[in-house]
Chains A and B, each alone.
Chain A
């Protein structure tokens, strides 16, 4: 049976810009407009705009919202100051990763506090079901899946704030990294946050579906002088890979735990309990766990997902994401390997379709922007 793909509120805008559309987690999404490398460079050097409306947006209202989310997330939600955002994980009872998420604590235009959970498109149905399964009527929480009624886009790059600032009264440069607030942009109510998935400075915006086109048109009018460009999922992947940000389904899955993934910072075990906490306490102590590493390759052949990682011809791991880095102009990859092969500088190889390519373990991230 063929299921119709969902369209984001910006679907017509993408088509008008000759985007190549692909199926991503049930959504018809732009993979590229001009070229991955061009869009990648526009984001690193100027501004890239990404439609990320496919990501799930779940709003939690009610006095019990923080306590309820605290039971589901690896990171503390109770006590999360209003106006702040946290990267966190949702784990199952055995400590496997169900999703990686952002949790926002915000107040709406009427000063009413609420929490927002932004989840991966591919995991939205699973997380909605997980949340509903663990919610009871005496939690004092109401949940609303706002994914379809809103749009979300990321505005990323060194000139992102300069293009957005004329459209809003909020002083964007005063907002801390991982903070967010309700605001107006070009006269439309939005949630603006200092977050992103590219390794660049910038913001993410959540707007009503009806306002999406107008906000984007206003943004492009302001951004034209800087060389603003729309960016598809292709460059979103190369950008996040250079920044060594994990992607669910590649670096993260239900069979990978947060410590293997290098996400121990996102697990708060002390003085609290949440689903998966007791398993994670044990996993944290386990020796000889696989570890997520970065690899640079000397050849021009590109390591891709699932290619074996070799040490002295023995398979000691597997590539989870690989690409040709437009910034470094060489192939890069993230992989899981045995811990004794994870030391920086270790010489390994990747089996690229039957031939070994020399590789070495390098520090993550591959790319870090200069902080001005």
Chain B
């Protein structure tokens, strides 16, 4: 996926919404900036397929040598797929955070929260200010 076409949460997760068989499904991951800031990832804990997530609420955690960081869902809905191999190959988050490093696919229950997400330009601006 091209990062320019993604939506971003202020908490550094990304989402890309696609139409799949008439339903809206968001692929969710974390940004290259977040991965670079965390560095030295050692552990990631993910929810199971069938669980529900809510925009702005925690769905998992990622741990680096230095600290643990919660993962917040950018969208609301039901988890239809989890990238189960990711916790065992965390280096994928460094090499390909927007494709092979995807984390969840979520069938959207409510699209209103999408309006709160940032487009790529706005997110890059936020990162520049934080970095």
Contact = CB atoms under 8 A, between A and B. Distances in A.
A372 interface: no
Interface stretch (B23-31, B60-68, B96-104): B60-68
Interface string A294-308: 000000111010000
B60 to A, nearest CB: 12
A35 interface: yes
Contacts of A35: 39-40
A35 B94 CA distance: 13
B33 interface: no
A22 to B, nearest CB: 11
B42 interface: yes
A111 to B, nearest CB: 46
A321 interface: no
A36 B39 contact: yes
B39 A324 contact: no
A323 B40 CA distance: 12
Contact of A304 (B40, B45, B68): B68
Interface in B53-93: 61, 63-68
B59 to A, nearest CB: 14
A234 interface: yes
Contacts of A300: 42-43, 63
Q: Is the interface of B mostly helix, strand, loop or mixed?
A: strand
Contacts, number: 36
Interface string A312-331: 00000000000110100000
Interface residues of A, number: 14
Contact of B65 (A36, A301, A353): A36
A279 to B, nearest CB: 37
A331 to B, nearest CB: 8
A37 B65 contact: yes
Interface string A91-117: 000000000000000000000000000
A302 B43 contact: yes
Contacts of A88: none
A353 B69 CA distance: 12
A238 interface: yes
A302 B63 contact: yes
B65 A323 contact: yes
